[in-house]
């Protein structure tokens, strides 16, 4: 029996380059390394670690734990840590006054972490929500979030963080014009080396739920409804507006930009990377972490493979890196 004519074979056999691990590694187009990871971490004012129920494997860290974590990040090759405060409910007020306390939790954590591991970058959120009793990122005037009054507070907050030694200010509030005002305030105070990574394209998302549990800003009143941030965070249906947000923040002096959440917004990451020449990061948020861990704990997903596959997808989309609660775990899986 003669073989089928040549033309019957596939003209191309793309599987040839997949036949063994060595060749798959050889032709791999993107790679994830520990240098791509920014460790997202919640700190609290008490002792020890307090597990966050909706985020298995994640705990709020005491300042002492955060210091140990900074040394761990250095050993693992993780370049930076993003810290977020859990504030005792009794200390919150309508204006989030504690946000700009130079002796507050975040400033003390920054100093301690930079003292212990100066080689690790520290990034701080600039927004009022951990400190306000209503859970909004800004000040409320006549029932609305007031853009310009909020910015005045954000500048005070950003300056105390920068003076404490924070390397990167990350405004996550979505007020218009905050990057420019922050940038000029830093210049005026002689803090011109402090970087700004703006939460430029931040969407009003259901995926922040577990984070709001973690920092204790989840609901309006006990058992109340989730805080609705749609008058300042972006509509999930929009992509052109995301490019306008990014353009605006770059023009105002942001050094780096971020897309948040991550996985449901990979298209936005790719569009931003293609449109601008600026380091672009994605935030794999609390709900993405919770979703993956819940499935893994049910035995429905292979946890380690799913962690590395999702983190790797951000690199494929063109991101410079990922802010993630998986950072230390992923760095270890990557052999750090
Ligand atoms: C608030 C802020 C949020 C996150 C980071 N900064 C939540 C929100 O906007 O309600 C979310 C992080 C996460 O879900 O992991 N300024």
Among residues 92, 202, 229, 315, the one annotated as catalytic is: 202
- ipTM surpasses 0.95: yes
Q: How confident is the model at residue 226 (pLDDT cuts 50, 70, 90)?
A: confident
- pLDDT score of 5: 63
Q: What is the pLDDT of residue 224?
A: 58
Report yes or no: 214 and 42 within 8 Å, Cβ to Cβ. Answer: yes
- For ligand 1, whether the C-beta of 281 sits within 6 Å is no
CA 51 to each of CA 134, 207, 273: distance values in angstroms, whole numbers, following the listed order:
24, 19, 36
The answer to whether domain 32-333 has CATH 3.20.20.70 is: yes
Could you report the per-residue pLDDT of 141-152, keeping only the tens digit for each?
999 999 999 999
What pLDDT does residue 222 have? 45
Kindly tell me if the per-residue pLDDT of 327 is higher than 90.
yes
The pTM of this model reads 0.96
125 ligand 1 Cβ < 6 A: yes
312 vs 330: CA distance, rounded Å: 10
Q: How much is the average pLDDT of 127-138?
A: 96
**For residue 118, is pLDDT > 80?**
yes
Instruction: Note if 202 is an active site residue.
Output: yes
- Two tokens, residue 188: 């005026």
> Given this model, what pLDDT does residue 217 score?
83
| Ligand 1 pocket, residue 252 CB under 6 Å | no
3 band by pLDDT with thresholds 50, 70 and 90: low
Rounded distance from Cα 173 to ligand 1 centre (Å): 9
Mutate to test the pocket of ligand 1, among 40, 86, 124, 211 (most ligand atoms within 8 A of CB): 211
Ligand 1 centroid – CA 72 distance (Å): 24
- Pair 113, 158: CB distance under 8 Å: no
- Helix, strand, coil percentages, rounded to 5, for the chain: 45, 20, 35
Q: Is the pLDDT of residue 330 over 80?
A: yes
Q: Which ligand 1 atom is at minimum distance from the Cα of 127? A: 16
Say if residue 221's pLDDT is above 50.
Answer: no
- Indicate which atom in ligand 1 lies nearest the CA of residue 207: 14
Q: Strand 59-60 and strand 50-51: pairing?
A: antiparallel
Of 114, 229, 260, 315, the active-site residue reads 260
245 is in an annotated binding site: yes
Cα(42)–Cα(33) distance, integer angstroms: 23
Q: How many CA atoms are closer than 13 Å to the CA of 160, on its beta-carbon side?
A: 20
pLDDT tens for residues 6-63?
667 888 999 999 999 999 999 999 999 999 999 999 999 999 999 999 999 999 999 9
In the chain, % of residues over pLDDT 90: 92
- Please report the pLDDT score of residue 62 as a whole number: 98
At 225 the pLDDT is 67
Tokens of 186: 């830093």
How many C-beta atoms lie closer than 10 Å to residue 212's C-beta? 19
pLDDT in tens, 161-185: 999 999 999 999 999 999 999 999 9
CB 312 within 8 A of CB 28: no
Predicted pLDDT at 216 = 84
Tell me if residue 260 is catalytic: yes
Mean pLDDT estimate for the chain: 95
- Calculate mean pLDDT across residues 308-334: 98
| 291: Cα within 13 Å, side-chain hemisphere | 15
Per residue in 257-290, pLDDT (tens digit) is 999 999 999 999 999 999 999 999 999 999 999 9
Residue whose CB lies within 8 A of the most ligand 1 atoms, among 57, 123, 129, 262, for a mutation test: 129
């Amino acid at each position: 029996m003669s073989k089928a004519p040549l033309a019957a074979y596939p003209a191309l056999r793309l599987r040839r380059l997949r036949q063994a691990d060595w060749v798959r590694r050889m032709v791999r187009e993107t790679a994830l390394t520990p240098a791509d990871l920014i460790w997202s971490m919640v700190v609290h004012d008490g002792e020890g670690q307090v597990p966050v129920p909706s985020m298995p494997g994640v705990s709020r860290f005491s300042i002492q734990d955060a210091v140990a974590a900074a040394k761990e990040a250095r050993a693992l090759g993780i370049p930076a840590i993003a810290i977020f405060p859990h504030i005792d409910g009794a200390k919150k007020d309508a204006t989030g006054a504690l946000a700009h306390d130079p002796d507050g939790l975040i400033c003390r954590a920054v100093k301690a972490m930079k003292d212990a591991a100066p080689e690790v970058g520290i990034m701080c959120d600039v927004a009022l929500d951990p400190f306000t009793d209503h859970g909004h990122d800004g000040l409320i005037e006549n029932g609305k979030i007031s853009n310009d009054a909020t910015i005045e507070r954000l500048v005070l907050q950003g300056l105390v963080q920068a003076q404490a030694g924070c390397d990167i200010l990350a405004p996550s509030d979505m007020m218009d014009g905050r990057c420019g005002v922050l940038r000029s305030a830093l210049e005026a105070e002689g803090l011109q080396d402090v970087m700004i990574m703006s939460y430029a394209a931040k969407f009003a998302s259901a995926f922040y739920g577990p984070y709001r549990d973690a920092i204790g800003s989840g609901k309006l009143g006990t058992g109340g409804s989730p805080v609705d941030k749609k008058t300042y965070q972006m509509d999930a249906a929009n992509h052109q507006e995301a490019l306008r947000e990014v353009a605006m923040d770059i023009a105002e002096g942001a050094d780096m930009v971020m897309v948040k959440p991550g996985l449901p917004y990979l298209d936005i990451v790719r569009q931003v990377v293609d449109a601008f020449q600026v380091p672009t990061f994605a935030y794999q948020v609390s709900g993405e972490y919770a979703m993956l861990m819940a499935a893994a704990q049910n035995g429905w997903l292979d946890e380690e493979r799913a962690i590395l596959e999702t983190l790797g997808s951000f690199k494929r989309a063109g991101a410079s890196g990922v802010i993630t609660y998986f950072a230390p775990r992923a760095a270890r899986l990557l052999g750090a």
